[in-house]
């Protein structure tokens, strides 16, 4: 508790504004209140976010009453009447801030306008989640006055914390989550493609790749169809043929060896598949490529 209070004093001394990557914030205050009971109904011209470290009480926002307790965060939006009540006292961390529009991109002006309209103003979090951990770390770091880079470290941590708070309460969170899922899926697909590339000489069935990635076969199959528009087996077969074409063009390996190197069970099957996809038999493809490479004729 004493560390947090000491950290608050330093933060208010050093961190009145933060900025990075096209967005700037003015910080009105950093707060630590070990025993917060009741306050009057009031409003701010800026955002205030509170985090309950200990205790129980209620938060009133636009006439709606919410129960708050340990590890509850709540957002007070600009020009919205609100009030905090507690009979036993709350240990609160809080921060008041606003966007500096003249120093921020249009994207951030839009984001902040969305946050002003958010419907979920009270959220329960876990103490090991990013926001509580960063908030506590910021306050603790602020007590280390002997640090050579104190102001720089505090500024970066404070900016990151405010971004996390905005992300937590932002009305566009569903959009961000959707993008995150899409990125995660793309990463999973890239890992699958890499595994296939590294194991083309093996059977690499759908179940093999799925097991390697700790996924269900059904999920992996859907991923290939959704993102590439082809089935898993079609993708693997295309990769085998592309590898075979490269080996035919760049090596002297026999067609039998190439078939084995690219995971085909026998030469006949390899020849049939290669001819269907490349419109040329493996032998003719190699011969045509060699002729195309000839730029000087010597008898």
pLDDT over 50 (residue 294): no
Contact 94, 48 (CB under 8 A): yes
pLDDT at 57: 96
CB proximity list for 253: less than 8 A, separation 6 or greater = 247, 261
pLDDT over 50 (residue 85): yes
pLDDT at 183: 55
pLDDT at 118: 87
pLDDT over 50 (residue 240): yes
- 299 located within any domain: no
Tell me which of 147 and 243 has the higher pLDDT: 243
Tell me which of 184 and 280 has the higher pLDDT: 280
- 99 located within any domain: yes
- 252 located within any domain: yes
Mean pLDDT of the chain: 88
Q: Residue 55: left if φ>0, alpha if ψ -120 to 50, beta else—which one? A: left
- 298 located within any domain: no
- 110 located within any domain: yes
pLDDT at 171: 52
pLDDT at 228: 84
Whether residue 77 sits in one domain with residue 33:
yes
Of 171, 196, 230, the residue at which a domain comes to its end is 171
Report how many domains make up the chain: 2
Of 137, 171, 205, the residue at which a domain comes to its end is 171
Whether residue 29 sits in one domain with residue 137:
yes
Whether residue 116 sits in one domain with residue 230:
no
Give Dmax (Cα) for the chain. Answer: 103
pLDDT over 60 (residue 181): no
The CATH number of the domain holding residue 184 is: 1.10.10.60
* Domain range enclosing 268: 180-293
CB atoms within 10 A of CB 216: 12
pTM over 0.75? The answer is no
Percent of the chain with pLDDT over 90: 68
Whether residue 120 sits in one domain with residue 20:
yes
């Amino acid at each position: 508790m004493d560390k947090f209070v000491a950290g608050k004093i330093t933060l208010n001394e050093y961190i009145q504004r933060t900025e990075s990557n096209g967005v700037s914030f003015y910080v009105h205050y950093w707060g630590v209140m070990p025993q917060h009971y009741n306050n009057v109904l009031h409003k701010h011209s800026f955002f205030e976010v509170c985090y309950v470290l200990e205790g129980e009480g209620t938060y009133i926002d636009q006439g709606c009453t919410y129960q708050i307790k340990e590890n509850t965060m709540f957002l007070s939006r600009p020009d919205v009447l609100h009030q905090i009540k507690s009979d036993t006292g709350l240990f609160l961390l809080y921060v008041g801030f606003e966007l500096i529009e003249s120093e921020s991109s249009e994207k951030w002006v839009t984001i902040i306008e969305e946050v002003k309209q958010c419907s979920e103003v009270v959220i329960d979090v876990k103490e090991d989640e990013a926001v509580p951990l960063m908030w506590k770390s910021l306050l603790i770091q602020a007590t280390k006055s002997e640090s050579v880079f104190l102001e720089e470290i505090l500024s970066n941590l404070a900016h990151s914390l405010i971004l996390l708070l905005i992300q937590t309460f932002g009305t566009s969170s569903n959009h961000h989550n959707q993008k995150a899922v899409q990125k995660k899926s793309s990463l999973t697909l890239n890992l699958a493609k890499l595994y296939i590339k590294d194991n083309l000489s093996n059977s690499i069935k759908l179940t093999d790749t799925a097991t390697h990635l700790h996924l269900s076969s059904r999920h992996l199959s859907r991923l290939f169809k959704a993102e590439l528009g082809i089935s898993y087996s079609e993708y693997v077969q295309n990769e085998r043929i592309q590898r075979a074409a490269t080996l035919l063009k760049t090596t002297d390996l026999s067609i039998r060896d190439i078939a084995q190197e690219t995971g085909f069970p026998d030469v006949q099957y390899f020849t049939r598949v290669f001819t269907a996809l490349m419109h040329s038999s493996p032998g003719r493809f190699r011969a045509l490529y060699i002729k195309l490479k000839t730029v000087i004729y010597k008898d």
